[in-house]
Structure formats: structure tokens, C-alpha cells
Structure 1
Amino acid sequence: MNLNLRHAVISNVTGNSQDQLEDTIVDAIQSGEEKMLPGLGVLFEVIWQNANEQDKQEMLTTLEQGLKK
């Protein structure tokens, strides 16, 4: 079985409103299920590919701060 994960995730959320997208992200995080991580990765990939350089820098700063112990 050849499953294209990127295509499946994007297909499932294409056309969703911002509220629906937020619900999808929040549900995936709150569930704590490892199987949800690849889908979140695909969504992050879409965000990254569509972000300008300033947005990317803000995301990197936020990520760096969130990973500090």
C-alpha cells in the first residue's frame, strides 16, 4: 500500500476555515498520540513554505525559546 501522507493530510484540510484548522491542530496536540505528529509536520511544512523571511525568523525564535530548559 503506497500512501502519500502529505497528499492525504492536505486533502483532508483543504478548504477548512481558520477555526477548523485550529481545531485540527489543537486536537492533534491535546490527544498526545504519536500518530498525529506526521500530520502536524505536514501542516508546519505548508506554513514554512508560505512564510516570508520575517515570519520564518519569528517561528525559529519561538521554537528556540520553547526548547530552552
Structure 2
Amino acid sequence: MDLNLRKAILDNVSGNNADQLQETIVDAIENGEEKMLPGLGVLFELIWKESNETDRQEMLAALEKGVQQTS
């Protein structure tokens, strides 16, 4: 069986509005289930691709800060 996880995740959120996407993200984070991580990764990939360089630098700064706080 050839499972395209990325496509399945995108199909699952296709057509969702901003509120629905936020609910999906918040639910995945609050649940803390490992099985949700691939979905968040695919959503992050979309955000990254749609962002300009300034937005990417802001995301990286926030990510760096978050990573440093967990260590």
C-alpha cells in the first residue's frame, strides 16, 4: 500500500477556514499526541512556503527561543 501522508493531511484540511485551521492546530498541541506531529509538520511546511524572508526569520527566532527554553 502506497500511503502519501502529506496528501492525506492536506486533503483532510482542504477548504478549512482560518478558525478551523486554528482549532486543528490548538487541538493537536493541547492533545500532545505523537500521532498529531506529522500533521503539524505538514501545516508548518505550508506556512514556511507561503512566508517571505522576514516572516521566516521571525519564525526562526521564535523557534530558537522556544528550543532554548526547553533545554
Classify the TM-score, shorter chain. Answer: over 0.9
For residues 50 and 17 of structure 1, the distance between their equivalents in structure 2, rounded to whole angstroms, comes to: 16
* Structure 2 counterpart of 1:49, one-letter code: K
TM-score, normalisation: structure 2:
0.92
Structure 1 ranges of 4+ moved more than 2 A:
none
**1:1-69 mapped onto 2 (5 Å cutoff):** 1-69=1-69
Please, which runs of 5 or more residues in structure 1 have no aligned partner? none
Considering only aligned residues, what root-mean-square deviation do their CA atoms show, in Å? 0.7
TM-score, normalisation: structure 1:
0.95
Please, which runs of 5 or more residues in structure 2 have no aligned partner? none
**Residue deviations 1:9-41, cap 9 Å, x none?**
111111101000000001111111101000100
Query: RCO (CA 8 Å, sep 6+): is it higher in 1 or 2?
Result: 1
Aligned length in residues: 69
For residues 24 and 53 of structure 1, the distance between their equivalents in structure 2, rounded to whole angstroms, comes to: 26
